[in-house]
Structure 1
Amino acid sequence: MRQEQLKVAVIQADLVWENRELNRTHFSEKINKISGEVDLIVLPEMFTTGFTMHAENLAETMQGKTVEWMRNEASKHNTALVGSFIVSEEKKYYNRLLFVEASGKISIYNKRHTFTLAGEDKVFTAGAEKIIIDYKGWKICPLICYDLRFPVWARNTEDYDVLIYVANWPKPRISAWTALLKARAIENMSYCIGVNRVGTDGAQNEYPGHSAVFDVLGHEITAFKSNTEQIEMVSLEKRHLLTNRSKFKFLNDSDTFLIL
């Protein structure tokens, strides 16, 4: 059944460097503070460790504690939970996003564009598949951080409604983060959600947050503060999507292409 509204909680938080247990506990405390019903809770990239290349010491399997924690939190709060963490599978490491529903259903996206500037490509295996999740009548496309710089990968050829980026996006390039989130919303005529962490990681990289949600026309509909842990609640409206797509048929005029 299609919901006309999708209620989303975006959690901008600091991360404890390479400490999976403390980060899970920290996010449990934050999730418990969310009042009222919520359909989806969005966490940052590598929310259990921070953006680390020490995968050999920190990777988990799909039978590990973080998957169990996500399932428990989704079930307990009758919501879906999305975020990425480090997964080991068949002797490979992945920066893997999980979309975990209250029923226990899990959708998986492996980060396509590994961040070469930090050597992520030398540690992690790049994903090859873009996924679209049908959730409560909303089509959702989840992506990860560096994917934001590559508009072809996000191009809305599937008629999705919501684009999500989970990230650890550092301070020196934060203006690009905000500009590209807005651009992805406008060019794909979809809501665009970007959640970034705050604080300083073990490699002394600073993260100022600047999480945001943009509507179809590129208007920001959240008010996150810089360098502050914060939870923003936002209601996405199906009517906003349908009205503007009907009035401005820009997606119909887009070029066709193949990704090889």
Structure 2
Amino acid sequence: MKVAAIQMVSGISLDANLSEALRLLRQAAHDGAELAVLPEYFCFMGHQDADKLLIAETPGLGTVQDFLSDAARDLKMWIVGGTLPMATDDPTHAANASLAYTPRGENISRYDKIHLFRYDNGRESYDEASVLVAGETPTVFECKARDGQGWRVGQSVCYDLRFGELYRMLAADLLLVPAAFTHTTGQAHWEVLLRARAIENQAYVIASAQGGLHENGRRTWGHSMVIDPWGEVMAMQAEGSGVVLAELDMERLQNVRQQLPALQHRRL
């Protein structure tokens, strides 16, 4: 199954972001991708965290959800919409939700980011909990490729990457990590954490990132990539908008798990 990790440098205009996302999704479809994963907050990176509350959508209703459904159906491709803010009962907080759509445009899965990022090195600081509500449910869905092969897909978002126990619970063939890693933390930890998650779970990883300098002054690390179950980086783009393509092979995954049956040797 050919897959695409979509990298963007999203800004403050919802329309402009969706237009760029569609351009990249069309490119991925043209290049034969069956599954495309957009980055975290592909639709909007506001001046401040609270700005995302202004575009929070309700389930099944909203511009971004319509966009994702229409794009998946029109391009006949599985699409995972990075993340978008979804409304909660508290108007001061939203959920950071990752939605998956089938090639028929049906929303098959929703995952709300469980781990909320907080960081302060004295020069830059972030606290997602100030406007986000943490999710509670590890989420997987079944993705059927055009050749009939089924893939168990585990969802996660950005900061989740630091919590290996989540990925163990997912027990997936393919792990998704849409993200907006900061340049500081990404430079230090992004690739090593992604490769670790692939190796310890003997699974493919699609990591779709924000990558560049944004209108709001934030700088994200980028380096979107696809990694195989042995921990090898199959394809990668450092910065800027683009499409990272790779071919997933179930036989390759099964061979890795058979030759080194570490998943069967777990005792805790």
- TM norm. shorter chain > 0.5: yes
Deviation string 1:140-184 (CA, Å, 9 cap, x unpaired) is 0010000001111111x4541001100001111223011100000
TM, length-normalised to structure 2: 0.87
The question of whether the paired residues in 2 share the 8 Å contact of 1:94 and 1:110 is answered with yes
The question of whether the paired residues in 2 share the 8 Å contact of 1:50 and 1:168 is answered with no
**What residue identity is the alignment partner of 1:120?**
E
**Aligned residue for 2:109?**
107
The question of whether the paired residues in 1 share the 8 Å contact of 2:10 and 2:41 is answered with no
**Aligned residue for 2:133?**
125
The question of whether the paired residues in 2 share the 8 Å contact of 1:208 and 1:227 is answered with yes
The question of whether the paired residues in 2 share the 8 Å contact of 1:112 and 1:128 is answered with yes
The alignment partner of 1:121 has SS state of helix
Which of the numbers 181, 198, 205 marks the counterpart of 1:169? 181
Mapped to 1, the partners of 2:256 and 2:212 lie a distance apart of 37
Are positions 1:50 and 2:49 aligned together?
no
Tell me by how many angstroms 1:90 deviates. Answer: 2.9
Deviation string 1:98-117 (CA, Å, 9 cap, x unpaired) is 01112213300000001123
**Aligned residue for 1:3?**
none
The alignment partner of 2:231 has SS state of coil
Select between 48-57 and 165-174 the one with higher mean Cα deviation.
48-57
Structure 2's unaligned 5+ residue stretches are 120-125, 145-149
Which of the numbers 205, 216, 230 marks the counterpart of 1:192? 205
**Aligned residue for 2:194?**
181
The question of whether the paired residues in 2 share the 8 Å contact of 1:86 and 1:95 is answered with yes
**Aligned residue for 1:89?**
88
**Aligned residue for 1:21?**
15
TM, length-normalised to structure 1: 0.90
Tell me by how many angstroms 1:194 deviates. Answer: 1.0
Q: Measured at CA, do residues 42 and 109 of structure 1 come closer, stay the same or move farther in structure 2, by a change above 3 Å? A: same
Are positions 1:149 and 2:162 aligned together?
yes
The alignment partner of 2:197 has SS state of helix
Mapped to 2, the partners of 1:33 and 1:132 lie a distance apart of 26
The alignment partner of 1:167 has SS state of coil
Tell me the percent identity: 27
The alignment partner of 2:233 has SS state of coil
Select between 201-210 and 184-193 the one with higher mean Cα deviation.
201-210
Q: Measured at CA, do residues 161 and 36 of structure 1 come closer, stay the same or move farther in structure 2, by a change above 3 Å? A: same
Tell me by how many angstroms 1:94 deviates. Answer: 0.3
Tell me by how many angstroms 1:93 deviates. Answer: 0.9
Structure 1's unaligned 5+ residue stretches are 1-5
The alignment partner of 1:33 has SS state of helix
Mapped to 2, the partners of 1:251 and 1:129 lie a distance apart of 22
